[in-house]
Each structure stands twice: as structure tokens, then as C-alpha cells.
Amino acid sequence: MADGCGPTPSARGRGRPVGSDSAETRAAILRAAREVISGCGYEAATFQAIAMRAGVSRPTVHYYFATKEDLYDSLQCEAYAVVSACISAAKRRNTLPERLAAFVAAARELDPSDGTMMRFVITSRLEHQRHPGLRGSTTPVA
């Protein structure tokens, strides 16, 4: 499918791409998961779609994250860290307009290239309400 929500016929081979390191692979999976979940929704997001977007195999995604809930919790922890950093930057200002400007500037700085983090922050609140299973999350965002 063109939207990246469904499986595609040309899957990658086993393992992570040759020459990549573990941290880069995990970051690529998280970035791809943010894109897929923000675009398709939590329910429609599959490990296959995330793997294809990340350029890794589906078993590689399972190596890093046992379940979609584990992956989602990791995304929420990342989002919490980014939003907390933005709030900290805003608190250093005195007036409300200055605080808002500082928050937005920090958000742009922390998510400069593709905007997937801020899209995920927004859509995750909706997904949290749509899916009762996500409500039991122990992440700080929840």
C-alpha cells in the first residue's frame, strides 16, 4: 500500500542493514514507528509497515521490541523527554508570550528534520483515548 500502513510485497532480508549499529537501528525503528502511527493510527500500524519504513526486517523490529505496546511505550518515553525539555526552556522565561515562544523554539530545535516527534505527541493523546489497552501504560506521558 502506498500509505505505509499495510504490508508490501518486497520485504527486506533478515537482520539489520550491514554496517549499521544497534543504536542507529533502534532510532530508525522508533522514527519509522512515529511516522506510521501518526499517519495510520495505532491500530493500523504493524511491525511489517514499521520495518519497511525503517529499512529493516520485521524480525529486527521484534528483536528490539517484543510487542507493539513495548514499542509504543518507548515512543511515549521519548515524547515525554522532548516535551519536558520544551517545558524547561519555557519556564526560564518571564512572560506568557516569551514562554510560548521558547516552547515552540525548543520544539523546533528538538525535532528539526521531519517533525515526526511533534506529530506523534499530538496523535498519541488521541490514540490513548481510542485504545483502552494503552491507558494502562506506566510511562510518564500516560
Q: Which long-range contacts (CB under 8 A, 24 or more apart) does 44-52 make?
A: 44/5, 45/5, 46/5, 46/6, 46/7, 48/6, 48/7, 48/8, 48/11, 49/4, 49/5, 49/6, 49/7, 51/11, 51/12, 52/4, 52/7, 52/8, 52/11, 52/12
Q: pLDDT tens track of the chain, all 142 residues? A: 445 565 444 444 555 455 567 889 999 999 999 999 988 888 889 999 999 999 999 999 999 999 998 999 999 888 888 889 999 999 999 999 999 999 988 888 877 667 788 888 888 877 877 777 776 655 555 4
pLDDT tens digits for range 56-80: 999 999 999 999 989 999 998 888 8
